[in-house]
Amino acid sequence: MKRLSSLIVLAAGIAAGTAGSYWYVHRPEPIATIAAAEEAPPAKAEREILYYRHPMGLPDTSKVPKKDSMGMDYIAVYADEADDDGAGTVKVSLDKLQRSGVRTEKVGKKAISRTVRAAGIVEHDEALLTIIAVRSDGYIEDLFVNKTGQSVEEGDALFRFYSPQIQLAQVDLLVAIRAQGRRDASRELDGAMQKLRNLNVPETRIEEVRKTKTNPRTLDWPSPTAGDVTSKSVIKGQFVEAGDELFRIADHSRVWVIAEVAEADIADIAEGTPVTVTLRAFSNTPHEGEVTFIYPAMRKLETRTISVRIELPNLDRLLRPGMYADVVFHPGAKDAPVTAVPASAVIDSGTRQVVLVAKGEGRFEPRAVKLGHRGDGYVEVLNGVEPGEEVVTSATFLIDSESNLKAALRAFSQQDAKQ
């Protein structure tokens, strides 16, 4: 009987507990709880992923998560990170720009001039070289210029020359003079004078014979030019034949500087390019000139250089053949201004060149450009940007590597997100 009573009490307790639990779960919410729920902020919506991009910036995207060949996870690109204009620009907070020291410069027109350096040597101006030779056989009876390097003026006597052939020609002139008044005498006179000219006898000697009506035995041979004797091939008493080179005289009032330009730089050099020449012997006295000739063949294959000629006046005779010179070319100095950007604005991956165009309000657009000449810290832009646009000239967050521009911009965006 007692066991039956205990079972009845236990069943009643279980039923009461079950009913209490049901009431607690389904009880109406208190007013304070409802109000707190209404004041709580709504749950943050999940960010929409547009696609996944390669972690090293390669031009490869995926709609689903994946790994690259190195096992690195692709990076998610969210909808709220995309630029409004869809042009692939990157947004950066203005505060971050100021802290990063980002500077920009407007694209404008600028004359691009670079410098090309080369070593040179002073040489004779070949156009001012004169060879002294006679046109008949004879003897050098005396030498008035008997040292190499001696300076002479035009008309100075070089040597005393005896030539039987000149003697005979002078006799013919005397005979023609005495025959004046006879028929054809004028033609004979002209012929006798021309014979002496053909022997390179100076006009002063011809006039002397006509006036004095004498036949001088020797002729003091005059110098046809002024300059320095660079070669002497005759001595006193020597017999010489027609055509022998006796002296070589160089007029040094103008000289050449032959510069050896590296093969890689010759494309920038042209006739008329301005040049600054500084002689190592006179380092404080630079000479300004221009390129007058570029040799058609590479004369020094072992150095892979091409010879370039510069002509310089040398009235004071300070420039001596054989002197070394430092030559600085200024290609582009005379060219018209072109569209140019600072060289620091160009990101070169090796296969393409890109600049960052500032769009305003912390937005930057990568722009592929085609480049031309470089110089003075600037580079010519053939296409890609227009004058008036602003490009980034200095920013430590940009990376110049084979990872291409997207990786560099992504690294900057990630740094900005951490701030």
Band (pLDDT 50/70/90 cuts) for residue 2 is very low
Q: For residue 157, give Cα distances in angstroms to 123, 266, 287.
A: 27, 46, 35
With 90 as the cut, is the pLDDT of residue 34 above it? no
With 60 as the cut, is the pLDDT of residue 208 above it? yes
Greater confidence (26 vs 296) lies with 296
pLDDT at residue number 36: 45
pLDDT at residue number 192: 94
Bridge partners (DSSP) listed for residue 348: 353
pLDDT at residue number 173: 94
How does the average pLDDT of the chain come out, rounded?
A: 81
pLDDT at residue number 84: 46
The pTM of this model reads 0.63
With 50 as the cut, is the pLDDT of residue 56 above it? yes
Bridge partners (DSSP) listed for residue 290: 274
Per-residue pLDDT tens digits for 68-107: 888 888 888 766 555 444 445 666 666 666 666 678 888 9
CATH class of 86-111+336-418: mainly beta
The CATH code that applies to domain 116-125+252-329 is 2.40.30.170
pLDDT at residue number 396: 35
**Beta carbons of 290 and 272 less than 8 angstroms apart:** yes
Band (pLDDT 50/70/90 cuts) for residue 146 is very high
With 50 as the cut, is the pLDDT of residue 212 above it? yes
Bridge partners (DSSP) listed for residue 347: 354
With 80 as the cut, is the pLDDT of residue 206 above it? yes
Terminal C-alpha separation, the chain: 80
pLDDT at residue number 105: 87
Q: Structural domain boundaries of the chain?
A: 2-37, 41-82, 86-111+336-418, 116-125+252-329, 135-243
Q: For residue 343, give Cα distances in angstroms to 101, 136, 394, 395.
A: 18, 68, 10, 13
